[in-house]
Structure 1
Amino acid sequence: MKLKIYSLIAASTITMALSSCKKDFLEQTPITQVGPDVAFADAAAAEKLIQGAYDGMYNDFHIWDYMTNGDVRSDNAYAGGDNPANIQLDLFTVISTNGNVGRDWNALYSDIKNCNLILTNVPNIKDTKLDAGDRRKQILAEASILRAYMYFNLVRTWGSVPLVVKVPITDAEFYPAKATVEAIYAQIITDLEYGAANARTTAPNKGIMTKGVANALLAKVYASKATPDWTKVSTYADAVINGGYSMVTNYDFLWDSNHKNNTEAIWEMQYDGYGGLHGNWMPSVLVGTGWKRFNTPTNSLSKAFDDAGDAVRKASSIKFNNVVSEGWSDSYWAKTSYPYINKYRADDKSDNYILRLADIILLKAEALNELSSSGWSAAAPLINQVRNRVGLAATTASDQASMRLAIENERRLELAFEGHRWFDLLRTNRIIPVMNAQVDGAGANLNYNLTPAKLYFPIPQDELDKNPNVR
Structure 2
Amino acid sequence: MKLKIYSLIAASTITLALSSCKKDFLDQTPITQVGPDVAFADAAAAEKLIQGAYDGMYNDYHIWDYMTNGDVRSDNAYAGGDNPANIQLDLFTVNSTNGNVTRDWNSLYSDIKNCNLILTNVPNIQDAKLDAGDRRKQILAEASILRAYMYFNLVRTWGSVPLVVKVPTNDSEFYPSKASVDAIYAQIITDLEYGAANARSSAPNKGIMTKGVANALLAKVYASKATPDWAKVSTYCDAVINGGYSLISNYDFLWDSNHKNNSEAIWEMQYDGYGGLHGNWMPSVLVGTGWKRFNTPSNDLAKAFDNEGDAVRKASSIKFNNVVSEGWSDSYWSKTSYPYINKYRADDKSDNYILRLADIMLLKAEALNELSAGGWSSAATIINTIRGRVKLGITSATDQASMRLAIEKERRLELAFEGQRWFDLLRTNRAMAVMNAQTDGAGANLNYNVTAGKLYFPIPQDELDKNPNVR
TM-score (norm 1): 0.94
Which residue number corresponds to residue 208 of structure 1? 208
Which residue number corresponds to residue 43 of structure 2? 43
CA RMSD of aligned residues (A): 1.4
d(CA) in 2 for partners of 1:387 and 1:67? 23
Which residue number corresponds to residue 144 of structure 1? 144
Which residue number corresponds to residue 15 of structure 2? none
Change (3 A) 1:293 1:10: farther
Specify the code of the residue in structure 1 equivalent to 2:199.
A
Change (3 A) 1:358 1:11: farther
Q: What SS class does the counterpart of residue 218 from structure 1 fall into?
A: helix
Q: What SS class does the counterpart of residue 295 from structure 2 fall into?
A: strand
Which residue number corresponds to residue 403 of structure 2? 403
Instruction: Check whether the contact 1:13–1:162 (CA below 8 A) recurs between aligned residues.
Output: no
d(CA) in 2 for partners of 1:358 and 1:78? 25
Which residue number corresponds to residue 5 of structure 2? 13
Change (3 A) 1:176 1:326: same
Which residue number corresponds to residue 299 of structure 1? 299
Which residue number corresponds to residue 23 of structure 1? none
CA deviations over 1:87-132 (Å, ceiling 9, x no partner): 0000000010000000000000000000000000000000000000
What pairs with 1:221-300 in structure 2 (closer than 5 Å)?
221-300=221-300
CA deviations over 1:126-178 (Å, ceiling 9, x no partner): 00000000000000000000000000000000000000000001111000000
Return 5+ residue gaps in structure 2 as ranges: 10-31
Which residue number corresponds to residue 461 of structure 2? 461
Which residue number corresponds to residue 155 of structure 1? 155
Which residue number corresponds to residue 185 of structure 1? 185
Specify the code of the residue in structure 2 equivalent to 1:385.
T
Q: What SS class does the counterpart of residue 267 from structure 1 fall into?
A: strand
Instruction: Check whether the contact 2:2–2:174 (CA below 8 A) recurs between aligned residues.
Output: no
What pairs with 1:326-365 in structure 2 (closer than 5 Å)?
326-365=326-365
Specify the code of the residue in structure 2 equivalent to 1:35.
D
d(CA) in 2 for partners of 1:31 and 1:428? 36
Q: In the TM superposition, what is the alpha-carbon distance from 1:35 to its structure 2 partner?
A: 3.5
Which residue number corresponds to residue 23 of structure 2? none
Q: In the TM superposition, what is the alpha-carbon distance from 1:31 to its structure 2 partner?
A: 4.0
What pairs with 1:17-166 in structure 2 (closer than 5 Å)?
31-32=33-34, 35=37, 39-166=39-166
Q: In the TM superposition, what is the alpha-carbon distance from 1:14 to its structure 2 partner?
A: 2.0
Specify the code of the residue in structure 1 equivalent to 2:291.
W
Instruction: Check whether the contact 2:3–2:467 (CA below 8 A) recurs between aligned residues.
Output: no
Specify the code of the residue in structure 2 equivalent to 1:246.
S
Instruction: Check whether the contact 1:11–1:105 (CA below 8 A) recurs between aligned residues.
Output: no
Which residue number corresponds to residue 14 of structure 2? none
d(CA) in 1 for partners of 2:320 and 2:280? 23
d(CA) in 2 for partners of 1:150 and 1:335? 39
d(CA) in 1 for partners of 2:229 and 2:470? 29
Instruction: Check whether the contact 2:321–2:337 (CA below 8 A) recurs between aligned residues.
Output: yes
Deviates more, 1:267-276 or 1:231-240: 267-276
d(CA) in 2 for partners of 1:16 and 1:56? 11
Change (3 A) 1:79 1:11: farther
Specify the code of the residue in structure 1 equivalent to 2:153.
N
Q: In the TM superposition, what is the alpha-carbon distance from 1:275 to its structure 2 partner?
A: 3.1
d(CA) in 2 for partners of 1:221 and 1:396? 29
Return 5+ residue gaps in structure 1 as ranges: 1-8, 18-29
d(CA) in 2 for partners of 1:129 and 1:32? 21
Which residue number corresponds to residue 175 of structure 1? 175
Q: What SS class does the counterpart of residue 339 from structure 1 fall into?
A: strand
d(CA) in 2 for partners of 1:69 and 1:451? 17
Q: In the TM superposition, what is the alpha-carbon distance from 1:12 to its structure 2 partner?
A: 4.5
d(CA) in 2 for partners of 1:166 and 1:206? 27
Q: In the TM superposition, what is the alpha-carbon distance from 1:286 to its structure 2 partner?
A: 0.4
Instruction: Check whether the contact 1:151–1:184 (CA below 8 A) recurs between aligned residues.
Output: yes
d(CA) in 1 for partners of 2:122 and 2:331? 54
Instruction: Check whether the contact 2:3–2:174 (CA below 8 A) recurs between aligned residues.
Output: no
What pairs with 1:379-458 in structure 2 (closer than 5 Å)?
379-458=379-458
Q: In the TM superposition, what is the alpha-carbon distance from 1:434 to its structure 2 partner?
A: 0.2
d(CA) in 2 for partners of 1:315 and 1:414? 12
Instruction: Check whether the contact 2:362–2:383 (CA below 8 A) recurs between aligned residues.
Output: yes
Specify the code of the residue in structure 2 equivalent to 1:282.
M
d(CA) in 2 for partners of 1:277 and 1:452? 40
Q: In the TM superposition, what is the alpha-carbon distance from 1:351 to its structure 2 partner?
A: 1.2
Instruction: Check whether the contact 1:13–1:163 (CA below 8 A) recurs between aligned residues.
Output: no
Change (3 A) 1:10 1:419: farther
TM-score (norm 2): 0.94
Instruction: Check whether the contact 1:15–1:466 (CA below 8 A) recurs between aligned residues.
Output: no
Specify the code of the residue in structure 2 equivalent to 1:369.
N
Instruction: Check whether the contact 2:8–2:106 (CA below 8 A) recurs between aligned residues.
Output: no
For these two proteins, the number of residue pairs brought into alignment is: 449
Q: In the TM superposition, what is the alpha-carbon distance from 1:32 to its structure 2 partner?
A: 4.5
d(CA) in 2 for partners of 1:233 and 1:116? 27
Which residue number corresponds to residue 21 of structure 1? none
Specify the code of the residue in structure 1 equivalent to 2:249.
T
Moved runs in structure 1, 4+ residues, more than 6 A? none
Change (3 A) 1:217 1:12: farther
